[in-house]
């Protein structure tokens, strides 16, 4: 019979040489199975005298422990190797492309309207609305533009067909009719803005038959032109994100305000580019003025008791200046390439606390 | 309004420089649009003298000229017939850009003769249309000096924009008066004294208008013994500088006076007037006349005309007639100075679509005293420039009464503008502007507007005059008072829907569009629109002549356009107005989306998944939940409009209200818009969604069931016509109250199924209510579900 030492050495060598989990398992059965060589050794204990049995038994158990430990150690190594092999076989090409950015885009116009709204919200304004197809009264007459007024000719108004009474609805040429609707429906104090679509029958490189304006109206008992100036300067600085923005007020004329003012902001032009901020030139960006007493009276207010200011700005113009968009007509073309470039991503929602400067 | 720097100084005594004047003009409301300095623009052109002009040896119509430039004599080949020895003319040396030809002169050879420059015509300098020959400069012009100065064209032209209320600034004198008020000089006095005539006019006025206010006053004078020659050089140069073409002295005087003091005139050839009266009356329907522009206009009873015995030959305030107008042979003239109702002039001009410088001024309001006040001034100018004799003045009408004084509280300036203007300065400004100011009552002045300011009606106008001239730079800068430290939201809950929808759709890879509110009428009809009440009377093009009934066509058009440009797999949405009628409640905002192809950038992981009706449905439901609609309670019908695929579209209803449509776009519609590939869309009428009650920000308490839910899968075989909705309702009804959700995970209609049948696989989540369910109870629930499907949908469990 083989010595226990030889047996142990032989088994340990076999375990060391096993290269698959199956081969290892076969060794385990050969050694420790019911009929395994170590089990056979243990069976022979019964026929031994007690003294010999004790010492031999201890020797056999020591061998069994050694083999068993070796088997378990080897099993761990083989399992690890098998997993490594499996994972290696699962490798993929990680350079295959995946969609990297959200594809949705906000239009620069809706973005700009949200920015304007956020700024005026902080000054206590709320948003008012009115219809796009307006009556002649709201678009002109109530705003102190009687039918024969020369200002009407400058509006290039779109008319719809006259109804049975001969009245011709118009596509509103300005957002100012919302002033009238708001004053008719509310008592002072009033602080509203009204962004929306406006229409004029003009189509060339710098005019579109449809464009957007934002109207503003503040009515109270002691609102004067200094508030108009402060409000609009604060707006311009916040909107363009330029603290030292020069803002200039110039006398002008609008039938529904008196005194009236155009507002210019400072800019500089260099190499065909335009930079908003302190510079040697001015850019006209909005019209404004104290609400005309006739307009207040048309809305049922007493011009001796209330006064206030109104303003109107072109939203496309603001967006073009702020975001460097060169061509007005491209706003309405829905060109995917343009939208990818000038549009805004979904996470980028303007708010005063996160900033509104693009 | 154009004028020149020298012209302004005829009226304004000023020590201020041109630059200072240009800077202050916009600050008092006169926006500078253009400044043209011809001396600078034409600096490269100099005076030269032709010392000899010989026939070109090789060309009949060319001459070879020797030209003294002041420093040397050069040879120039010239084709102008008036090139001759001794002529002082305009020289451009090689390297000079010729504005009228847009070329740069080079030294060269013309038919074998060297030519070292160019002798220029007025049109080549870009200063007039005269190209009859090279310019002829005065004999005393100094060779080698600037040509612009020698030609008298070095006056600087200034163009300002005049707002519609400032008719008084449509003459140079009005501009000068504003500058004087602003402290930039003093208004020079002009001699507006009367001029006695030396004979009786043989023509008189008769005003017979229906409404006396149509012509409150008209004056006239006859001038005899006129020599109608070209006007003097200074007048021609000024007219040319502001873009007016000099004609002859009579026409030039009427133009000059119009731009000088803002007073349009009309000159008749007295010998062409039939009879001895000019009658101002309403035109008769059917009358017509040929105006000075040689076009014929049909008149109606609302238009005011001026007639002689042969009928109308002047459209009052708009344009004179051809028949009685002055010409170069005129020797006797009758000159009209009238006031016509500005509204009547505006309406007539608009009706006839006839614009003129006169109409522009009449409708903005003239100096109502002009017919009498300017008569002497104008008569002296005519006499001086034409050698004529003037008649006594003939007048009809009482004139326009002086405006009543306006009560004006000086304290109003501070309360409306926030600026403290010293009262003395207020008075000074008003008086320089021509207002009468009576300060007897210190708290309420009596202020009378001058006759040239018909735009001044009330105290707000007076405050505007004061603050405009005093300067807006004095306005204080005040923040609006805050009602609360934290501003309230500026948009209402209804308005906020627009923001939510926009964000929800952008998150689903939609790109936002902004398209026109009008479209081609034929397209509108395809989408249920085309109401004649919504047709534009004056569309900008036939493609944009009808208000849109929905936004789908705009998005489909945009999709087609992008496909043609090579972009594919598109998703566009727009939130904007649509029009079902003129009343305000028939104009509302909707949200529309269109997807094409894959709907988003191609991804190799699912390369062939094209959009289907279910994408449109998912978009619509997602958008609805974004605005707080609980979509589980909506009903779905297949009654979408016919621009959708009839079998692959649906309507979402809340009770009887249609909240939206979704579906594949009808193939013939898609083809109409050139859209290839899969194409789906949705329309969401979000303004129809009722506003939920305000329950405050707190959410209801969460009651979680501690008992574990379990799920069971079923596969039912049903007729193909059985809807998923019906099947799911049957499952829910059968498993009440334990079924907490039903989810369809497979629909099979393949060839392993019997004809007309389909298999629908469902996962049912069963939520124990009070105690854990034992197996027998679960079996019981399953049986009830199966029985309900059998009863309500005719379905059986798939074997």
| CA dist., res. B415 & res. B14, Å (int) | 34
Q: Where are the alpha helices (DSSP H) in A44-176?
A: 50-89, 108-122, 136-139, 150-153
Contact B514 A249 (CB under 8 A): no
Query: For residue B2, what are its two tokens?
Result: 């154009």
Strands B63-68 and B46-55: antiparallel
Q: Is the Cβ–Cβ distance between B378 and B354 less than 8 Å?
A: no
**Contact status of B323 with chain A (Cβ, < 8 Å):** no
Distance from CA of A186 to the nearest CA of B (A): 16
One DSSP character per residue, B652-714 reads EEETTEEEEEEEEEPHHHHHHTT--S-EEEEEE-GGGSPPPP---SPPPPP----SPPEEEEE
Residue of B nearest to A207 (CA): B540
> 3-class DSSP state for residue B573?
strand
Predicted TM-score (pTM) of this structure: 0.88
Instruction: Tell me the C-alpha distance between B204 and B710, whole Å.
Output: 109
B209, B280 Cβ separation under 8 angstroms = yes
Q: Which residues contact B338 (CB under 8 A, 6 or more apart)?
A: B215, B217, B218, B219, B266, B280, B316, B317, B371
Q: Indicate the burial class of B302 (C-beta count within 10 angstroms; 0-12, 13-18, 19 or more).
A: middle
Residues of A within 8 A of B472 (CB-CB) are 229, 249-251, 261
Task: Name the pairing type of β-strands B157-161 and B118-120.
Answer: unpaired
**φ, ψ (nearest 5 deg) of residue B571:** -140, 110
The span from the CA of A73 to the CA of A62, in Å, is 17
ipTM of the complex: 0.89
User: B503 in contact with A at a CB cutoff of 8 Å?
Assistant: yes
CB A299 within 8 A of CB A142: yes
Return d(Cα B229, Cα B227) in angstroms, integer: 6
Q: How far is CA B392 from CA B271, B379, B478, B620, B699, in A?
A: 18, 10, 60, 84, 93
Per-10-residue mean pLDDT, chain A, length 358: 81 90 91 86 81 84 90 93 93 89 93 95 94 95 84 80 87 96 95 96 89 97 96 95 92 95 91 83 93 96 96 96 92 96 92 82
Q: How far is CA A319 from CA A91, A239, B758, in A?
A: 49, 10, 55
- How far does B671 lie from chain A, in Å, by closest CA? 19
Residue B445 confidence (pLDDT): 97
Phi/psi of residue B104, each to 5°? -110, 130
The reported pLDDT for the residue numbered B711 is 93
Domain ranges of chain A: 4-89, 108-342
| DSSP output for B759-790 | EEEEEEEE--SSSPPPHHHHHHHHHHHHHHHH
Cα end-to-end span (Å), chain A = 90
In sequence order, the 6+-apart residues with CB closer than 8 A to the CB of B362 are B264, B317, B318, B340, B342, B345
- Find which of A194, A234, A253 to mutate to test the B interface (most B CBs within 10 Å of its CB): A253
C-alpha Rg value of chain B to the nearest Å: 41
Check if the beta carbon of residue B673 is closer than 8 Å to that of residue B689. no
Residue B165, chain A, CB below 8 Å: the answer is: yes
CA–CA separation, B195 vs B380, rounded Å? 7
Contacts of A169 in chain B (CB under 8 A): 582
Compute the half-sphere exposure of residue B783: CA atoms within 13 Å on the CB side of its CA. Answer: 6
Contact A232, A286 (CB under 8 A): yes
CA distance B509 to B570: 9
CB contact under 8 A, A349 and B503: yes
CB pair distance less than 8 Å for A230 and B342: no
Between chains, do B478 and A153 touch, taking CB under 8 Å as contact?
Answer: no
**Chain A to chain B, count of Cβ pairs less than 8 Å apart?**
261
User: Is there a contact between B208 and B312 (Cβ–Cβ < 8 Å)?
Assistant: no
B582·A124 Cβ contact <8 A: no
Q: Are the Cβ atoms of A224 and B506 closer than 8 angstroms?
A: no
Task: Show residues of chain B in contact with A132, CB under 8 Å.
Answer: 517, 577, 579, 587
Q: Chain A: give the shortest CA distance to residue B160, in Å.
A: 12
| B184 in contact with chain A, both atoms CB, cutoff 8 A | no
Contact present, B560 and B669 (Cβ < 8 Å): no
Phi-psi region of B14 (alpha: psi -120 to 50; beta: other; left: phi over 0): beta
Beta bridge partners of B512: B573
Q: Which of B1, B361, B540, B606 to mutate to test the interface with A (most CBs of A within 10 A)?
A: B540
Pick the residue of A346, A348, A353 with the most B CBs within 10 A to test the interface with B by mutation.
A346
pLDDT digits (tens, 9 = 90+) for A296-322: 999 999 999 999 999 999 999 999 999
CATH of A108-342, one of 1.10.10.10, 3.30.930.10, 3.20.20.70, 3.40.50.1440: 3.30.930.10
What pLDDT is stored for residue A2 in this prediction? 67
Which of A161, A163, A173 is closest to A201 using CA atoms? A173
What 3-state DSSP class applies to A186? coil
- Count of CB atoms situated within 10 Å of the CB of B373: 19
Q: Of the candidates A218, A258, A332, which has its C-beta nearest B515's C-beta? A: A332
Instruction: Note the pLDDT of residue A162.
Output: 86
Q: Which residues, at least 6 apart from A73, have a Cβ–Cβ distance to it below 8 Å? A: none
Interface of B with A in 24-63 (CB under 8 A): 26-29, 31
Mean pLDDT of successive 10-residue stretches along chain B, which has 799 residues: 96 96 96 92 91 88 91 90 91 90 88 90 82 86 90 91 93 97 96 93 94 93 94 92 93 97 96 94 94 94 94 94 93 96 91 93 93 95 95 93 93 96 97 96 96 93 97 95 82 91 96 97 95 93 95 98 95 97 94 95 85 97 94 90 96 95 97 96 96 86 90 94 92 92 92 90 93 91 94 90
Angle at B622 between CA B620 and CA B627, to 5 degrees: 95
SS3 A26: helix
A161 touching B (Cβ < 8 Å) = yes
Q: How many angstroms separate the Cα of B104 from the Cα of each of B41, B94, B112, B125, B290?
A: 14, 7, 21, 12, 45
A152 Cβ contact partners less than 8 Å away, ≥ 6 residues apart: A140, A145
| Chain B residues touching residue A334 (CB < 8 angstroms) | 513-515, 555, 558, 561-562, 572
To 10 degrees, what angle do helices B423-432 and B459-470 make? 100
Q: Report the residue of B182, B343, B411, B460 to disrupt the A interface, i.e. the one with the largest count of A CBs within 10 Å.
A: B460
The DSSP secondary-structure symbol of A159 reads B
Please report the pLDDT score of residue A150 as a whole number.
Answer: 63
A37 contact B CB<8A: no
Give Cβ neighbours of residue B235 (< 8 Å, ≥ 6 apart).
B246, B249, B252, B253, B256, B385
Q: What is the DSSP letter of B619?
A: H
CB of B334 within 8 Å of any CB in chain A?
no
How does DSSP assign B317-350, residue by residue? Answer: TTEEBSSSB--TT--SEEEEEEE--HHHHHHHHH
Q: Nearest CB to B475: which of A168, A225, A331?
A: A225
- Phi first, then psi, for residue B710 (nearest 5°) are -135, 160
Per the CB < 8 A criterion, the answer to whether B644 and B661 are in contact is yes
DSSP label at A344? B
Retrieve residue A155's tokens.
């509006």
Pairing of strands B319-320, B311-315: antiparallel
602-621 in chain B: CB under 8 A from chain A = 603-605
Mutate to test the interface with B, among A127, A150, A348 (most CBs of B within 10 A): A150
Do A331 and B514 make contact, defined as CB atoms within 8 angstroms?
A: yes
Q: Which residues of chain A lie closer than 8 angstroms to B561, CB-CB?
A: 333-335
**Sheet with B277-282, side-by-side order of all strands:** B204-207, B277-282, B304-308, B311-315, B319-320
Partners of B334 in the beta sheet? B222, B268
H or E stretch at A22: helix A21-32
For residue B477, give the chain A residue with the closest CA. Answer: A230
As a whole number of angstroms, the distance between CA B28 and CA B180 comes to: 11
Q: Which residue of A has its CA nearest to B583?
A: A133
Q: Is B313 within 8 Å of B321 (Cβ atoms)?
A: yes
- A-chain CB neighbours of B540 within 8 Å are 158, 201-203, 209
Instruction: Supply the pLDDT for residue B319.
Output: 95
> Is B562 near chain A, with CB under 8 Å?
yes
Chain A residues closer than 8 Å to B342 by CB: 148
Report the share of chain B in percent with pLDDT over 70: 100
Residue B404: how many other CB atoms lie within 10 Å: 9
Q: What domains appear along chain B, each with residue ranges and CATH number?
A: 2-37+156-187 (3.30.56.10), 40-150 (2.40.50.140), 204-396 (3.50.40.10), 406-474 (3.30.56.10), 493-688 (3.30.930.10), 710-797 (3.30.70.380)
Instruction: Please name the residue of chain B whose CA is at the shortest distance from the CA of residue A201.
Output: B540
Radius of gyration of chain A (CA): 43
Chain B residue nearest residue A151, CA to CA: B164
pLDDT value at position A1? 52
Residues of chain B with Cβ-Cβ distance to A234 below 8 Å are 479
Q: Tell me the backbone φ, ψ of residue B12, rounded to 5 degrees.
A: -120, 120
Is the distance from CB of B298 to CB of B319 less than 8 angstroms? Answer: no
The SS3 assignment for B296 reads strand
Contact B758, B795 (CB under 8 A): no
Q: Shortest Cα distance from A126 to chain B (angstroms)?
A: 4
């Amino acid at each position: 019979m083989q010595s226990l030492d030889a047996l142990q050495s032989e088994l340990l060598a076999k375990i060391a040489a096993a290269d698959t989990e199956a081969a290892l398992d076969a060794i385990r059965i050969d050694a420790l199975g019911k009929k395994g060589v170590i089990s056979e050794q243990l069976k022979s204990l019964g026929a031994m005298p007690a003294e010999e049995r004790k010492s031999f038994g201890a020797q056999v158990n020591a061998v069994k422990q050694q083999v068993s430990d070796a088997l378990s150690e080897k099993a761990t190594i083989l399992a690890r190797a098998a997993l490594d092999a499996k994972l290696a076989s699962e490798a993929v090409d990680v350079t295959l492309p995946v969609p990297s950015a959200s594809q949705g885009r906000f239009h620069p116009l809706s973005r700009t309207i949200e920015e304007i709204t956020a700024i005026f919200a902080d000054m206590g304004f709320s948003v008012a609305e009115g219809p796009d197809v307006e009556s002649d009264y709201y678009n002109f007459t109530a705003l102190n533009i009687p039918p024969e007024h020369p200002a009407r000719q400058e509006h290039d108004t779109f008319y719809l067909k006259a109804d049975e009474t001969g009245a011709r609805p118009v596509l509103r040429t300005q957002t100012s009719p919302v002033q009238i609707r708001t004053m008719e429906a509310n008592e002072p104090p009033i602080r509203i803005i009204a962004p929306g679509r406006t229409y004029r029958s003009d189509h060339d490189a710098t005019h579109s038959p449809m464009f957007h304006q934002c109207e503003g109206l503040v009515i109270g008992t002691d609102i004067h032109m200094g508030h108009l100036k402060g409000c609009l300067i604060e707006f311009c600085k916040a909107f363009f994100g330029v603290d030292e923005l020069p803002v200039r007020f110039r006398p002008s004329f609008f039938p529904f305000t008196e005194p009236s003012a155009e507002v210019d902001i400072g800019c500089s032009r260099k190499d065909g580019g335009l930079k908003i901020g302190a510079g040697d030139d001015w850019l006209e960006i909005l019209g404004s003025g104290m609400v005309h007493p006739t307009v207040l009276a048309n809305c049922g207010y007493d011009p001796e008791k209330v006064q206030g200011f109104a303003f109107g700005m072109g939203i496309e113009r603001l967006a073009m200046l702020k975001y460097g968009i060169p061509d007005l007509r491209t706003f309405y073309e829905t060109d995917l390439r343009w939208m990818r470039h000038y549009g805004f991503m979904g996470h980028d929602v303007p708010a005063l606390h996160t900033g509104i400067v693009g | 309004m154009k004028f020149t720097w020298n012209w302004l100084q005829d009226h304004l005594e000023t020590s201020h420089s041109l630059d200072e004047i240009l800077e202050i003009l916009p600050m008092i409301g006169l926006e500078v649009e253009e400044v043209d300095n011809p001396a600078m623009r034409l600096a490269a052109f100099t005076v030269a003298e032709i010392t000899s002009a010989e026939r070109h040896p090789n060309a009949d119509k060319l001459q070879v000229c020797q030209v003294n430039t002041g420093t040397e004599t050069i040879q120039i080949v010239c084709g102008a017939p008036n090139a001759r020895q001794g002529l002082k003319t305009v020289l451009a040396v090689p390297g000079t850009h010729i504005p009228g030809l847009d070329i740069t002169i080079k030294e060269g050879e013309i038919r074998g003769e060297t030519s070292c420059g160019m002798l220029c015509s007025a049109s080549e300098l870009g200063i007039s249309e005269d190209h009859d020959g090279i310019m002829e400069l005065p004999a005393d012009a100094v060779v080698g000096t600037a040509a612009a100065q020698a030609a008298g064209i070095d006056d600087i032209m200034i163009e300002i924009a005049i707002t519609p209320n400032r008719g008084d600034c449509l003459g140079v004198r009005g501009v000068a008066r504003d500058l004087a008020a602003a402290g930039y000089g003093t208004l020079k006095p002009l001699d507006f004294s009367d001029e006695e005539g030396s004979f009786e006019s043989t023509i008189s006025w008769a005003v017979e208008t229906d409404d006396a206010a149509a012509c409150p006053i008209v004056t006239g004078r006859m001038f005899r013994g006129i020599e109608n020659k070209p006007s003097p050089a200074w007048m021609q140069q000024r007219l040319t500088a502001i873009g007016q073409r000099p004609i002859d002295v009579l026409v030039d005087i009427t133009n000059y006076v119009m731009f000088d003091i803002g007073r349009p005139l009309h000159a008749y050839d007295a010998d062409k007037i039939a009879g001895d009266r000019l009658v101002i009356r309403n035109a008769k329907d059917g009358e017509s006349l040929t105006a000075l522009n040689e076009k014929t206009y049909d008149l109606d009873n609302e238009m005011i005309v001026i007639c002689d015995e042969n009928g109308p030959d002047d459209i009052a305030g708009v344009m004179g007639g051809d028949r009685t107008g002055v010409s170069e042979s005129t020797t006797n003239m009758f000159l009209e100075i009238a006031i016509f109702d500005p509204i009547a002039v505006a309406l007539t001009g608009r009706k006839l679509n006839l614009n003129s410088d006169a109409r522009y001024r009449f409708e903005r309001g003239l100096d109502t005293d002009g017919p009498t006040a300017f008569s002497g001034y104008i008569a002296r100018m005519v006499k001086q420039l034409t050698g004529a004799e003037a008649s006594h003045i003939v007048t009809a009408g009482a004139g326009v009464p002086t405006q009543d004084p306006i009560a004006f509280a000086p304290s109003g300036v501070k309360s409306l503008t926030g600026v403290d203007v010293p009262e003395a300065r207020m008075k000074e400004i008003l008086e320089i502007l021509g207002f009468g100011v009576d300060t007897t009552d210190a708290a309420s002045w009596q202020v009378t507007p001058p006759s040239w300011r018909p735009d001044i009606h009330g105290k707000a106008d007076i405050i505007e005059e004061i603050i405009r001239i005093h300067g807006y730079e004095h306005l204080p800068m005040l923040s609006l008072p805050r009602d609360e430290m934290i501003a309230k939201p500026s948009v209402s809950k209804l308005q906020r829907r627009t923001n939510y929808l926009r964000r929800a759709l952008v998150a689903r890879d939609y790109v936002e569009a902004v398209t026109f509110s009008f479209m081609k009428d034929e397209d509108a009809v395809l989408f249920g629109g085309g109401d004649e009440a919504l047709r534009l009377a004056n569309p900008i093009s036939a493609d944009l002549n009808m208000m849109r009934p929905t936004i789908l066509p705009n998005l489909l058009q945009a999709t087609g356009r992008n496909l043609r440009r090579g972009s594919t797999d598109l998703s566009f949405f727009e939130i904007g107005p649509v029009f079902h009628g003129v009343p305000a409640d028939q104009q509302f905002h909707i949200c529309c989306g269109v997807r094409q192809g894959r709907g988003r950038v191609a991804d190799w992981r699912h390369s062939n998944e094209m959009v289907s009706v279910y994408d449109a449905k998912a978009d619509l439901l997602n958008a609805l939940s974004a605005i707080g609609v609980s979509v589980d309670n909506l009903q779905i019908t297949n009654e979408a409009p016919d621009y959708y695929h009839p079998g692959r579209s649906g309507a979402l209803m809340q009770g009887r209200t249609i909240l939206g449509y979704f579906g594949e776009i009808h193939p013939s519609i898609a083809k109409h818009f050139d859209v290839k590939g899969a194409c789906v869309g949705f329309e969401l009428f979000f303004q129809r969604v009722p506003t939920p009650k305000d329950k405050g920000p707190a959410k209801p308490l969460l009651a979680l069931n501690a008992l574990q839910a379990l799920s069971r899968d079923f596969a039912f075989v049903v007729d193909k016509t059985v809807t998923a909705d019906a099947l799911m309702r049957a499952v829910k009804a059968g498993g009440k109250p334990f079924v907490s959700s039903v989810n369809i995970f497979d629909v099979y209609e393949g060839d392993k199924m019997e004809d007309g049948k389909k298999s629908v696989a469902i996962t049912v989540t069963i939520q124990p209510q009070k105690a854990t369910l034992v197996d027998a109870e679960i079996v019981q629930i399953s049986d009830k579900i199966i029985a309900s499907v059998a009863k309500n949908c005719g379905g059986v469990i798939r074997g």
